[in-house]
Chains A and B, each alone.
Chain A
C-alpha cells in the first residue's frame, strides 16, 4: 500500500521549437530524485533518426530540472514536424521517459549550432520496489486492487448461484435454492460496488463517469439480467414453483452474464486493458510488483464475499424456521 510509484515525467514546457534555435525547457518530474552535481544524470531527446543531448542542465529541485538544447539545423528528416521522446537517466531513478514529449518544427532559414551526441541508453529500473508510473493513471493505478476484485468476487458468487441452481434442479433440495438466491443477491451487491468504484475511476481517467465502452455496457446489462432474476422471484408466490422457475432462469442468466462481460468486450475495442484480443494477465498489463498484491486482494474479497453469503444464508434459514413455528 505504501509502495511509491516509480519515477516519471509529468510535463515539459515549452513543448515545441523551431529547428536551429537554442531552447531551454522545464521538465516536471514525479517521484524523481534529481540532485546537484550528479554525474550520472543524463537528459536526452531522441527519436528514430536523431539523438540530442542537453548542453546545460540546471537542477531546480528533486522533481524539477531545466535543460538547454541547441537544436541543429541539419537534422536527418524530411518531416515538417518531428516528435522526440524525452529520456532521463540517473543512478537512483534508473531510466524513464515521456513519449513524444517535444516537437521540433522545420524552419529552413534558421541556423544554429550542432549538438548531436551518441550516448546510448539502456533501460534501467529504479532502485527499490515501485508500482509502475503511468501517465493519466498516476496513483490511481492502486485502484486495481479494489475495483477489479469486486468483479472477480461477483463472478465467483454468480458461479455459486449457477451451481446451486443446477443442484436444486437435479435433486430439489430447498437449501440449494436458498444458497443460489442468496449468492445472486450478494453478487449483485458486489457488482454495484464494482460499478460505483469504476465510475469514480473513469471520471478521472476517461473524463466521464460513464463512457460508451463495451465492457461497461456489458456489465450494466449483466446487472440488469440479475435484477430481473429478483423481479421474477418476487412475482411468484408458490414456493416450489418460484424455486424451480428462478433456478432455470439463473442457469441461463449466468451464461448470458459471462457472454456480456467476457465475450462481447473481447470482440471489440475497449478502454479496458486486454480487450480486442487475449486479455490474460501478461507482463504488459500487470507489473510483477503489483501481481502478488492484486492476487491477495482478489482472494481476500472472495473470502469476504463467501462470508457475507454464509451470513445471509444462515439468517434466511433462521427466518424460515421462525416463520414455520408461528
Chain B
C-alpha cells in the first residue's frame, strides 16, 4: 500500500509538466495524450502481472 502511494506520488511529479499553463499546443496539435495512453497501458500491464503473481504466491503460502 505504501509503495502504491509512493508510485502515485512519483507519477504526479513526472506528469506535472503536462498540465502546466501554456501547454495547450501540447494537447491539441501535439497529441501528447497518445504518449500518456501508451504509458498508462504499459503501467497497467505491469501492475496486472504483479497482482496475478502476488495472488499465486499467497495461495502457495496458504497451502504451507
- Nearest residue, chain A, Cβ from B25: A30
Residues of B within 8 A of A193 (CB): 41-42, 45
Query: Is B5 interfacial (CB-CB < 8 Å)?
Result: no
Write the nearest CB–CB distance from A202 to chain B, whole angstroms. 10
Write the nearest CB–CB distance from A83 to chain B, whole angstroms. 23
Count how many chain B residues have C-beta atoms less than 8 Å from C-beta atoms of the other chain: 24
Write the nearest CB–CB distance from B56 to chain A, whole angstroms. 6
B63 touches A143 (CB 8 A): no
The answer to whether A192 and B45 touch (CB under 8 A), given A2-B17, A140-B31, A326-B63, is: yes
A143 touches B56 (CB 8 A): no
Query: Is B26 interfacial (CB-CB < 8 Å)?
Result: yes
Residues of A within 8 A of B60 (CB): 315, 318-319, 322
Mask: chain A, 135-162; 1 = CB below 8 Å from B; 0 = not: 0001110110011001000000000000
A200 touches B29 (CB 8 A): no
Residues of B within 8 A of A10 (CB): 29
Query: Is A125 interfacial (CB-CB < 8 Å)?
Result: no
Report the contact-size class of chain A (Cβ under 8 Å from the partner): 20 to 34
Complex Cα distance, B53 from A193, in Å, reads 17
The answer to whether A308 and B42 touch (CB under 8 A), given A138-B29, A200-B34, is: no
B32 touches A139 (CB 8 A): yes
B53 touches A5 (CB 8 A): no
Instruction: Tell me the A residues contacting B by CB distance below 8 Å.
Output: 1-2, 5, 10, 30-31, 63, 138-140, 142-143, 146-147, 150, 189, 192-193, 196-197, 200-201, 204, 304, 308, 311-312, 315, 318-319, 322, 326
Instruction: Tell me the B residues contacting A by CB distance below 8 Å.
Output: 14, 17, 25-26, 29-32, 34-35, 37-39, 41-42, 45-46, 49, 53, 56-57, 60, 63-64
